[in-house]
Amino acid sequence: MPEPITPVAFPPNFLWGAATSAYQIEGAVREGGRTPSIWDTFSHTPGKTAGGDHGDIAVDHYHRFHEDVELMAGLGLGAYRFSISWSRVQPTGRGPAVQVGLDFYRRLVDDLLAHDIKPAVTLYHWDLPQELEDAGGWPERDTALRFAEYAQIVGEALGDRVEQWITLNEPWCSAFLGYGSGVHAPGRTDPEASLRAAHHLNLAHGLGATALRSVMPARNTVGLSLNSSVVRPLTQDPADLAAARKIDDLANGVFHGPILHGAYPQSLLAATSSVTDWSYVLDGDLRKINQPLDTLGLNYYTPTLVSAARPDRQGARADGHGASEHSPWPAAADVDFHQTPGERTEMGWTIDPTGLHELIMRYNREAPGLPLYITENGAAYDDKPDPDGRVHDPERVAYLHGHLSAVRRAISDGADVRGYYLWSLLDNFEWAYGYEKRFGAVYVDYATLERTPKSSALWYGQAARTGSLPEVESA
């Protein structure tokens, strides 16, 4: 029998949004009492970012937010996911809030609501106040306690108007790229510290969720966004299957184990015993981490292909997470990473919408009844304006069509997916890649900061307005 055709239309209440993060777009790094975050320090350290790029101005969203909100409204988007700059609100990571910092986010939220766009707040998108890093950063328990205080401050300020809350974005990157491979801020390369950081990020999520709920209306939802990996073995050989299990534990189980199930996988603890004894997991921590979730955000870009280490392996580790002599995968020297076959984006990431469907269905099984959001999905391409100033990006349109079709298929298969946030609204500072990689649906001329919606933005806006996927141009 032929496979049933997945309906093109999405559920009527499906949320169509776009996403950004504070350090990537805001700029104004020295205004309103804001102090340096780890990304300010890292990006100003020679050799850490492409071209020495930094976020001092970024795309100046701090001064141009009204223009950006009007752009979203013009496209017909129903939601906007943004992050709060911790050091703009609480410059040292301790003590009372700076009201001028909170006022910026109050104005942004009010403007979104005035344009009938739902705000979704992410409390932490990698920009730890530098003073907290100087005190030890995420490998130290105190950072999780400070995060809970920060969460309460922001929840009190915005909880009456913002209903969707995300504690952490991609804690895997914060822990393992920041403290393991060193390709992200703060640039440390200590495998044991990366696992300590992962645990304290989990603890921060649990304590932060509790703090938010203590000060916000019960109608508000609290979740987090995970960049869970779709880990596939190169072959069905038992050694390759074991390698895939190890990487799945390090990519996924280290977070969804304690957060969803109240325990770290025993296989993870055993596999990393040569690196750490996990003695920093104190009595009561797992209970504090295992708070009920109202939603779960999934960020997806490309699958991961692994095998047991081959004696003849050559070249760099092909895990898609930047070049470093230090691995972000503790105790995994016995695993090789392989480029998956197929068409790639400018990041070198294989385009594979089946991975998104697989990821959604995994969490549909592991956390039945938990509403899911795709909180990041998108692609970088070498976008350039044509002679008329238009930016035509058919590759991104095709990418979005493929991945949104995978989301619709998952909904047809029974998954409770409530919305999709395109990454990213704007071209921006792409972390260690500087301004070389353009993920935006809106093109930004970095010399003038002029915004131009790409053809993908217009296509996505039509999808948002109609609740169905427009046709894609044939090549």
Contact present, 251 and 229 (Cβ < 8 Å): yes
Give the residue among 431, 472, 464 at the shortest CA–CA distance from 12. 464
Contact present, 305 and 234 (Cβ < 8 Å): yes
Q: Is the dihedral of CA 45, 49, 52, 56 positive or negative?
A: negative
Rounded to the nearest 10 degrees, the angle between the axes of helix 191-215 and helix 141-158 is: 30
174 Cβ partners below 8 Å, 6+ apart? 124, 126, 128, 138, 168, 184, 197, 201
Distance of alpha carbon 186 from alpha carbon 128, whole angstroms: 9
Distances in Å between the Cα of 103 and the Cα atoms of 89, 314, 350, 444 are 9, 53, 41, 26
Q: Which residues are catalytic?
A: 170, 376
CB count within 10 Å of CB 13 equals 9
Distance of alpha carbon 442 from alpha carbon 150, whole angstroms: 31
The structure tokens listed for 240 are 């390759």
CA 281 to chain centre: 25
Measured between its terminal Cα atoms, the distance across the chain in Å is: 30
3-state secondary structure 107-132: HHHHHHHHCCCEEEEEEECCCCEHHH
Distance of alpha carbon 387 from alpha carbon 379, whole angstroms: 24
Convert 273-286 to b/e letters by CB count within 10 Å (16 or more is b): eebbeeebbeeebb
